[in-house]
Structure 1
Amino acid sequence: MKREIKFRLWDSKSHEWLIKGEDGLVENMVCCDSWDMFDPDDYVWCQYTGLKDKNGRSIYEGDTLKVTGVDGGSYVASVRWFSDEGYPAFDLGSIPETSFYGANTLATIFQGGVETCEVIGNIFENPELLEAEK
Structure 2
Amino acid sequence: MTRQIKFRAWHMPFGSKGPMQQMFRSQASSVLSFAEMNPDAYIVEQFTGLKDKNGKDIYERDILATSSKIGGKLITDYLKVDWREDYAGFFCGEKPLYACLGEWDNDIKYPQTFPEIVGNVHTKPELLEAQHDTRTD
| Same fold? TM cut 0.5 | yes
CA contact (8 A) 2:83 2:90 kept: yes
Q: What is the DSSP-based 3-state SS (H/G/I as helix, E as strand, rest coil) of the residue aligned with 2:131?
A: coil
Cα deviation, residue 111, structure 1 = 6.8
Matches for 1:59-70 after TM superposition, within 5 Å: 59-69=58-68
Q: Which runs of 5+ in 2 are unaligned?
A: 14-18, 105-110, 133-137
Cα deviation, residue 107, structure 1 = 1.7
In structure 2, give the amino acid aligned to 1:132: A
Work out whether 1:107 is the aligned partner of 2:98. yes
Q: Which runs of 5+ in 1 are unaligned?
A: 94-99
In structure 1, give the amino acid aligned to 2:120: N
The structure, 1 or 2, with the larger RCO (C-alpha pairs under 8 Å, 6+ apart) is 1
Q: Distance in 1 between matches of 2:10 and 2:68?
A: 31
Identity among equivalent positions (%) equals 35
- What's the C-alpha RMSD, in Å, of the aligned pairs? 2.8
CA contact (8 A) 1:19 1:25 kept: no
User: Greater strand share, 1 or 2?
Assistant: 2
**Residue of structure 2 in register with 1:12 after alignment:** 12
TM-score (norm 1): 0.69
Cα deviation, residue 67, structure 1 = 1.3
Cα deviation, residue 87, structure 1 = 1.9
**Residue of structure 2 in register with 1:81 after alignment:** 83
TM-score (norm 2): 0.68
Matches for 1:123-134 after TM superposition, within 5 Å: 123-134=121-132
- Number of residue pairs matched? 113
